Chains A and B, each alone.
Chain A
Amino acid sequence: MSARKNLRRMLGVPAALAASALLVAGCVSNEPPEEENDSVSQDDGAGGTANDEPGDNVVIGFSAPAADHGWMGAITRSALDTAEQYEDVELRQAEATNDVNMQISHIEQFINDGVDAIVLLPFDGDALTEVALDAMEAGIPVINVDRELSSPFASRATILGDNYGMGVSAGTYICEELGDQPDAVVAEIQGIANLPLTQDRSQGFEDALSDCGLEVSTQVAADFTIQGGETATSNLLQAEPEIDAIWNHDDDQGVGVLAAIENAGRDEFFMVGGAGSLDVMEHIQSGDSVLQATVIYPSTQAADGIKLARLIAQDKDMADLVSAGAPHTIQLYAPVVTADNVDQYLDLGFRS
C-alpha cells in the first residue's frame, strides 16, 4: 500500500467514524450511506490503514468523568463507537464519575483484571497520577486523554486538545475579519475563569489579537453551563452597547449565550464559538444568527485514545509515521469552522 494511499485513508478515518456514529444515531434510511470520500474503504468497518486489520484480541479499560456536559457526553459516545468497530477490542467501561475516589477504584479494578491497556480521561490529573503509576508498574500501558497526569511515568501516551491553539485560531479569525478597524470592540466569554485551560485559551486569544493591534475590551466568565452563559452574556451586553466581535469559549454554554443575545435583540456583531457542537455548526451553515464561526476542540480525543491503546497493546506502529512505535504525545489541531468549510466538519460536531 503506497504511502499516499495511506495518507488519504488516514484522513478518511474521522469522517468514517463520524459517519457511522451518525448512522447509528438516527439515520432512518435503509440505503447504504453515500460515499462522500472515496478513500474510505467500506469492508474493514473502521476505514483506515492496514493497522485496522484484526490483530490480537485486546481488552481496553476506559474511564472518564460524568457526562454532565455535551462535549463530555460526546467523548464517551465516540470512544464506545470506535471500540465497537474493532472485533479484536473488548471495551470495559467504568462508571463515569466526577469522584476521584471512585475513579481511582475503577483503575484499580482494571489493574486487578489485568486489562491490556487503559484509556483514562481523569477528572483531576493530579489525583489520578498515583493509580496510573500503579497501572504502568503493573505493565499496563495508560493512554492519558485531555487532562494531563502530573508524572511523565504515569502514561505511555498522551492525547491533548490545544487550548492555547483554540485561542490563537479564534483570535486570528477575528483579526482577519476586523483587521482594518484598529478600535474595534472585541468581547470574550470564558468558561470557568480560573481553570488553567481557560487561561491558556485566553492567552492564545490575546496573543493572536495583539498581532493585528486588537485587544479584548471586555472579558466575562460563565461556567460551561447554559444558565451561566445566559447570565454572563446578559451582563456583557448591558456593559457594552456596541460590540464588533465576541469569542465564546464553549458551545455548550453557547446555547445560553445565544439566548441572551436574542433576548437583547442585538446583532451588530459576529460571534465565534468554541468546541464545535452540531448545533453551532448548523447555525453557521444556515447563517441565521450572529454565529459566524467556531473553533474545534475535538470531542473525538478519547476515540483517538482507544485507537492508540489498541495499537500499543497490539504492539503495532502508527501508520504515516516512519519511526517505530506509537507516539508519546499527540496534540490535536484546533481548526476554525466557517460557512465555507462547515460541510467538511459537520460529521464531527456533537449534540450538546
Chain B
Amino acid sequence: MTRPLAEPPADTEKHDGTRRRAWLHGAAGRNLGLVVALLLLCVFGVISGGERFANIDNVMTILRLAAVIGVLAIGMTFVITSGGIDLSVGSVMGLTTVWATTLATQSMAENSHWIVIVSTALVVGIAAGAINGVIIAYGRVVPFIATLAMLASARGLAEMISNRQTQRVESGAFIDFFRSEPLGIPILVWIFAAVAVAGWFLLNRTTFGRRTVAIGGNAEASRLAGIKVQRHTLYIYALAGLTAGIAGVMMLGRTTAGTSTHGMLYELDAIAAVVVGGTLLIGGRGTIVGTVFGVLIFTILTNVFTINNMSTSAQLVAKGAIIVAAVLLQQRFANRSKST
C-alpha cells in the first residue's frame, strides 16, 4: 500500500495471468476482502439476531443511517484520490443545515418553494468547498491545514448564525418529501444511490475522473501533461463541498432541524470509510464501490452491535478491532492477487 503507482506496472508484470487472476487482480479482486468482511458481518448478524437482523425494516434502517455519511464519503473519495484530504466536510455540513434553516431562508422558502432550502444548503456547501480549493490550489497551503482551518471556522460560523440554538424546519412539504418512500425505499437511500452512481460515473468514465487520478498519482507529471492542476484541485474541493451540502439537506430531512452540532466528527467517519474501501490515502487510486462497501461495513457493525445489546464501550473496542481486521483482510487479498 506504500506504492501508489504500483498498479499499472503490476499489470504488465503479470506474465501468466489467467482470466481468473485477471479478475482477482482487477477492481473486483480489490473489493473481495470487503465483500468477505461484509458477508461475515451479515452472517454474524443473522446468527445473533435472526429475524431481527434479516428483515426488510432493519435493512432500511441500516441504509438510512448509511446514507448521510455515504454521500460525504463519495465526495471524500475524490479528494483523497487526488492526493488531498478534507477535514472540514462535517463542519461544512453542519453549517449548511444552519444556513438553510435561518429565518430568512425559511421565510423565502415559505413564499416560494422549499427547494430554496435545498439550494441554499448546496450553494453554501459549494462555496465553503471552493474556499478550501482556492486556499489549497492558489494559496499553496497543504490540504490538511487549509481544511483544518475550515473545520474550525465553519463550525464557529454555524454557531454564530444559529446562536447555538436548534432551528426547526417549518416547511411541512419539505419534511414530507424527505420522509417519502418511493417504491418502498426511503428517499434518503435513493439520494445516496444517485450520488454513488454519479460519483462512480464521474470517477471512472469521464476526463474529470481520469484527471483526478492523475493528479493524485503525480501532480507535477499531470501539470507537464497539460492538466490545469490548480483549477482541477479547486473543482475537487468544491465537489466535496457540494456533497457536504447534499448531506446537510439529507440531515435536515432526517432530523427536521438544523444545528451547529450536526456532523460532528463525520469527517473521520467518511475518511475511515474511504480508506477501508481501498482508496489510497496518498492518492492515485480511488474506488467508489469500495467506499460504498466501507460505509456499509461501519453501519452494519453499529446495527449488529445494537441488536446484540453490547455495552457502548465494548462496541467501540470491537469497532477498532474490526477496522484493522477489514484492512488487513483487504491487503491480504490484494497481495495474493499480485504475487500469484
| A→B interface (CB under 8 Å) | 66-67, 76, 91-96, 98-102, 104-106, 108-109, 111-113, 123-130, 150, 192, 194-196
Contact (Cβ within 8 A) B57 A93: no
Q: Does B113 contact A (CB under 8 A)?
A: no
> How far apart sit A305 and B272, CA to CA, in the bound complex (Å)?
36
Judge whether B255 and A112 touch: CB under 8 Å: no
- For residue A66, which residues in chain B have a CB less than 8 angstroms away from its CB? 312
Given contacts A101-B254, A126-B256, A126-B257, contact A194 B163 (CB under 8 A): yes
Q: B235 to chain A: closest CB distance in Å?
A: 28
Inter-chain contacts of A106 with B (CB < 8 A): 306
Contact of B261 among A94, A124, A129 (CB under 8 A): A124
Residues of A within 8 A of B265 (CB): 99
Q: Who on chain B is nearest to A134 by CB?
A: B179
B52 partner residues in chain A, CB cutoff 8 A: 112-113
Question: Interface residue count for B (Cβ, 8 Å)?
Answer: 36
A195 contacts across to B, CB distance below 8 A:
164
A-B pairs with lowest CB-CB distance, top 4: A127-B255, A105-B65, A126-B257, A126-B166
Asked if A109 and B311 make an inter-chain contact with CB atoms under 8 angstroms apart, the answer reads no
Please give, as numbers and ranges, the residues of chain A lying within 8 Å of B179 by CB-CB distance: 130
**A-facing residues in B117-143 (Cβ within 8 Å):** none
| Beta-carbon contact of A95 and B302 below 8 Å | yes
Q: Assess whether B307 is interfacial by the CB under 8 Å rule.
A: yes
Decide if the interface of chain B is mainly helix, strand, loop or mixed: helix
10 extra interchain contacts, Cβ-Cβ under 8 A, other than A100-B262, A126-B168, A129-B256? A93-B312, A95-B302, A98-B264, A101-B255, A105-B302, A105-B303, A124-B257, A126-B255, A127-B259, A130-B255
Which of A104, A109, A194 has a CB less than 8 Å from the CB of B303? Answer: A109
CA distance A100 to B163 in the complex (A): 19
A93 contacts B309, C-beta separation under 8 Å: yes
Q: List 30 A-B contacts (CB under 8 A).
A: A91-B309, A92-B309, A94-B306, A95-B302, A95-B305, A95-B312, A95-B315, A98-B261, A98-B264, A101-B65, A101-B68, A101-B255, A102-B302, A104-B254, A106-B306, A108-B64, A109-B61, A109-B303, A109-B306, A113-B307, A123-B261, A124-B255, A126-B166, A126-B259, A129-B257, A130-B254, A130-B256, A192-B164, A194-B164, A194-B165
Binary interface encoding of chain B residues 142-178 relative to chain A, with 1 for a CB under 8 A from any of its CBs, else 0: 0000000000000000000001111010000001000
Least CB distance, A116 to chain B, in whole angstroms: 15
| B48 contacts partner chain A, Cβ-Cβ < 8 Å | no
Closest to B66 in A: A105
Selected contact of B65 from candidates A76, A102, A113, CB within 8 Å: A102
Q: Does B251 contact A (CB under 8 A)?
A: yes
Q: Closest B-chain residue to A100, C-beta based?
A: B255
- What chain B residues lie within 8 Å of A111 (beta carbons)? 57
Do A93 and B259 contact each other (CB < 8 Å), given the known contacts A126-B166, A150-B168, A194-B165?
A: no
Mask for B24-58, Cβ within 8 A of A = 1, else 0? 00000000000000000000000000001001011
With known contacts A105-B65, A126-B166, A194-B163, A96–B312 Cβ distance under 8 A = yes
Contact A99 B264 (CB under 8 A): yes
Query: A101's closest neighbor in chain B, by CB?
Result: B68
Q: Tell me whether A109 and B58 are in contact in the complex, defined as CB-CB below 8 angstroms, given that A102-B302, A127-B166, A194-B164 are known contacts.
A: yes
A66 to B166, CA, bound (A): 19
- Nearest A residue (CB) for B315: A95
Give, as a whole number of angstroms, the nearest-CB distance from A118 to chain B.
13
Q: Which residues of A contact B262 (CB under 8 A)?
A: 100
Residues of A within 8 A of B259 (CB): 124, 126-127
A101→B257 CA distance, assembly (Å): 11
Complex CA distance for A23 and B201, rounded to whole angstroms: 61
Closest to A107 in B: B61
The complex places the Cα of A94 from the Cα of B311 at a distance, in Å, of 8
Shortest distance from the beta carbon of A147 to any chain B beta carbon, whole Å: 10
Closest to A192 in B: B164
Which residue of B is nearest A97, CB measured? Answer: B312
The smallest C-beta distance from A99 to any residue of chain B, in angstroms, reads 7
Residues of B within 8 A of A113 (CB): 52, 307
B61 contacts which of A105, A126, A150 (Cβ < 8 Å)? A105
Q: How far is the CA of A192 from the CA of B260 in the complex (A)?
A: 14
Contact of A104 (CB < 8 Å), options: B164, B166, B255, B261:
B255
Q: Which residue of B lies closest to A63 (CB)?
A: B306
Q: Which of B59-78 contact A (CB under 8 A)?
A: 61, 64-65, 68-69
The smallest C-beta distance from B165 to any residue of chain A, in angstroms, reads 7
Contact B61 A108 (CB under 8 A): yes
Asked whether A124 lies within 8 Å of B61 as measured between CB atoms, the reply is: no
A150: nearest chain-B partner, CB-CB = B168
Task: Give, as a whole number of angstroms, the nearest-CB distance from A101 to chain B.
Answer: 5
Interface of chain B residues 259 through 313 with chain A (CB within 8 A): 259, 261-262, 264-266, 302-303, 305-307, 309, 311-312
Q: Nearest chain-B residue to A130 (Cβ)?
A: B256
Say yes or no: A93 contacts B311, CB within 8 Å. yes
Given the known A-B contacts A93-B312, A195-B164, are A112 and B257 also in contact in the complex, defined by CB atoms under 8 Å? no
Residues in A whose Cβ lies below 8 Å from that of B309? 91-93
State the CA gap A102–B175 with chains docked (Å): 19
Q: Which residue of chain B has the shortest Cβ distance to A133 in the bound complex?
A: B256
Nearest CB to that of A125 among chain B residues? B166
- Shortest Cβ distance from B179 into A: residue: A130
Complex interface: chain A residues within 8 A of B256 (CB): 126-127, 129-130
Complex: A157 Cα to B152 Cα, angstroms: 38
Are A112's CB and B57's CB within 8 A?
yes
- Residues on the A chain within 8 Å of B312, using CB: 66-67, 76, 93, 95-96
- Let me know if B251 and A101 touch, CB within 8 A: yes
- The answer to whether B166 touches A112, judged by C-beta atoms less than 8 angstroms apart, is no
CB distance from A131 to the nearest CB of B (A): 9
